[in-house]
Structure formats: structure tokens, C-alpha cells
Amino acid sequence: MSKQKVFERPKSLSDVRFSYCAGCLHSVVHRMIAEVIDELDLLDTAVGVCPVGCAVFMYDYLECDMIEAAHGRAPAVATGVKRVLPEAIVFTYQGDGDLAAIGMAETVHAASRGENITVVFINNGTYGMTGGQMAPTTLIGERTTTCPSGRRPETAGYPIKVCELLSSLEGPSYIARVAPVSPAGITRTKAAI
């Protein structure tokens, strides 16, 4: 009887051990992005743009061209790359502190212009790398190190709902909210990518 591999590391995923915290989904999403790059044969044309926070480590894990952007500026950098290299498949990989806080202007304006880039937004509702502070996307009642009693709208405002905000614009061609926390969620997430 011959053995058949049913599961292996995607070619686009580096053979490097992930450094993320236990339970973090960055590694799961990295693998899905690598699988999509392989399945669509995009390794030679894909360019990833990653800013600060845990997202910045993606350049260690993917074999495609990667660019590190300043905090919040990934959509602006990705726009520049796409305009210079129109044949490239350009994507950003951003956390909630980067995209929904300091980078909100770049995100909204790239979406409003309908830039031909893909933005992968990892929203865990907290600034995970710096100790678990409240993020713009932290839910009402959710506890963080900076709101230990839970986020209250009267003092911290309401969470920013990024998909809903961007959906109000005419430029974006595709927006999806997915959660890779179950087999079905992983399937939906990979399809969205």
C-alpha cells in the first residue's frame, strides 16, 4: 500500500516556527494566505505589505515579496506598489490597532478610491502585542488592561465597525467579515481571502 500525503506545508509558507502566542490565529491566517497564493499560482506576483504590531512578523513566514510599512500606512504603501506594478497581486495584513486606529484615514481613502488591493484585517479587539489595551474595535463590556471594568460607551465611545463603515463607500468591490475559529469558519475565511 502506498502512502499519500493529505496535509503538507504550502510552498509559499516558510519553514519557520511561528512565534505567536498560544491561541492566536495569526498563524492560521498566514497558512490560509499561503495556501491561496499556492492554489492561484501567485508566488511570483504577490506582494504583501505589513505594518507594526504582530502583523509585521508575516515577512518571516511568507516566501513572497514583503514590504514593511510605517504604523497605519500599509494601504498607502500598497497603493503605491500596485500603481508602480499593476500586474502584482498586492495585499496588506493589518491588526485592529493599525488599521482601525492610526491607519483609519489610509484605509478609508484607499477603499473610497477603490484601490485594487486586498486588505486582510485581523481584529482581535485589543492591542495584543503591547499588553492587551483597549482598541477602537473593543466591544462594549469587553475588559482590557485599560478598561478593566469593561468598555463603556459613555467614557470610551462605541466600537468601530470597520466592515459596516467601509460598506457605506462606493469604492470597495468586496468586503467580508469572517472568523477562523471553527472548521466552517476556516473554510469561509479562506474563501474570503
Report residue 76 CA to chain centroid gap: 15
User: What pLDDT is recorded for position 24?
Assistant: 87
Question: Quick one: pLDDT at residue 178?
Answer: 98
For 20-57, b/e burial (b = at least 16 CB within 10 A) is beeeebbbbbbbbbbbbbbeeebbeebbbbbbbbbbbb
Whole-model pTM? Answer: 0.93
pLDDT in tens, the chain (193 residues): 788 888 899 999 999 999 988 888 999 999 999 999 999 999 999 999 999 989 999 999 999 999 999 999 999 999 999 999 999 999 999 999 899 999 999 999 999 999 999 999 999 999 988 889 999 999 999 999 999 999 999 999 999 999 999 999 999 999 999 999 999 999 999 999 9
* Residue type present at position 140: I
CA-CA distance, 181 to 151, in Å (whole number)?
24
Q: Where are the alpha helices (DSSP H) in 40-148?
A: 74-84, 96-97, 104-113
Do 125 and 96 form a contact (C-beta atoms < 8 A)?
yes
Given this model, what pLDDT does residue 23 score?
A: 82
Please state, in angstroms and as integers, the Cα–Cα distance from residue 132 to each residue in 89, 124, 143, 148, 188, following that order.
33, 10, 9, 10, 27
Residue 12's Cβ-count burial label (10 Å; 0-12, 13-18, 19+) is buried
Q: What is the pLDDT of residue 115?
A: 98
Q: What are phi and psi of 24, to 5 degrees?
A: -70, 145
- Domain annotation for the chain: domains and CATH numbers: 26-124+161-192 (3.40.50.970)
Q: How far apart are the first and last CA of the chain?
A: 37
Q: Is residue 134 within 8 Å of residue 146, measured between CB atoms? A: yes
Bridge partners, 77 (sequence order): none
